């Protein structure tokens, strides 16, 4: 097994882990996982080999060992603490979600410019004023954050997150934030994802009609 796991592989591990958690058998192969998730078999094989050394040719991986090594790589036994900046509808929904801990992350607080001077509890986590972000991140050694503010506030909020010591930001704001090179940003654009799904569904319906009537658009 390799000493390090690439960021790209880490990004795919939650999919693999969710897949094998739903399995009842004792063995699983890269071919099974690739087919079940609609991914390339070569890529899946490389990803699995980078986290687990228990695989055998034509046999596959023991599910228990593969699951254990994936959970270790994702640090699910000791989740990374994260904060949310922006306690609006989207931020609130993320705070309600239980699934982060299963994949190595736990939201422990949120911050919002409209929060009162004293924190209030929203669901499971407290929400603090933005001016307490730096002190909180320092005292709790937080380095990961989720940004869910409107586009107009995204850059300034991101800069405040960076000043507070965050090194990884999941950005849900519909705005491409700029950060120093030592800070990792993953852009999550829900509107673009929905547009892609709509386009894919439309193309699928079009293809079905063409096959049904034996015609093809020019």
Q: What is the pLDDT of residues 127-172, one digit of tens each?
A: 999 999 999 999 999 999 999 999 999 999 999 999 999 999 999 9
Tell me the pLDDT tens digit for each residue of 10-57. Answer: 888 888 998 998 888 899 999 999 999 988 999 999 999 999 999 888
Q: Report yes or no on 145 lying in a domain.
A: yes
pTM of the model: 0.66
Same domain (yes/no): 166, 196:
no
Range of the structural domain that residue 43 is part of: 7-74
Asked if residue 2 is part of any domain, the answer here is no
Query: Is residue 110 a part of any domain in this protein?
Result: yes
Q: What are phi and psi of 49, to 5 degrees?
A: -65, -25
Specify the CATH number for the domain of residue 134. 3.40.50.720
Per-residue CA distances from 201 to 104, 154, 207, 208 (Å): 33, 31, 10, 11
CATH number at residue 65: 1.10.10.10
Closest CA to 62 of 114, 14, 25: 25
Query: Does 197 fall in a domain?
Result: yes
**Which of 52, 74, 96 is a domain's end point?**
74
Q: Say yes or no: 113 and 36 in one domain.
A: no
Are residues 95 and 112 located together in one domain of the fold?
yes
């Amino acid at each position: 097994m390799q000493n390090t796991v690439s960021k790209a592989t880490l990004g795919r591990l939650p999919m693999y882990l969710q897949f094998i958690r739903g399995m009842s058998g004792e063995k699983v192969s890269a071919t099974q996982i690739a087919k079940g998730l609609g991914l390339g078999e070569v890529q899946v094989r490389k990803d699995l080999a980078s986290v687990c050394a228990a695989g055998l040719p034509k046999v596959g991986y023991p599910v228990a060992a593969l699951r254990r090594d994936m959970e270790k790589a994702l640090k699910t036994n000791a989740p990374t603490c994260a904060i949310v900046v922006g306690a609006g509808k989207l931020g609130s929904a993320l705070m309600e979600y239980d699934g982060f801990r299963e994949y190595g992350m736990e939201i422990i607080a949120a911050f919002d410019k409209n929060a009162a001077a004293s924190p209030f509890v929203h669901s499971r986590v407290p929400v603090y004023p933005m001016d307490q972000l730096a002190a909180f991140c320092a005292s709790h050694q937080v380095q990961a954050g989720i940004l869910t503010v409107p586009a107009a506030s995204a850059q300034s909020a991101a800069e405040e997150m960076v000043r507070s010591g965050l090194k990884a930001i999941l950005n849900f704001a519909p705005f491409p934030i700029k950060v120093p090179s030592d800070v990792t940003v993953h852009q999550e654009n829900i509107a673009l994802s929905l547009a892609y799904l709509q386009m894919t569904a439309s193309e699928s319906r079009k293809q079905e009609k063409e096959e049904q009537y034996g015609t093809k658009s020019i």
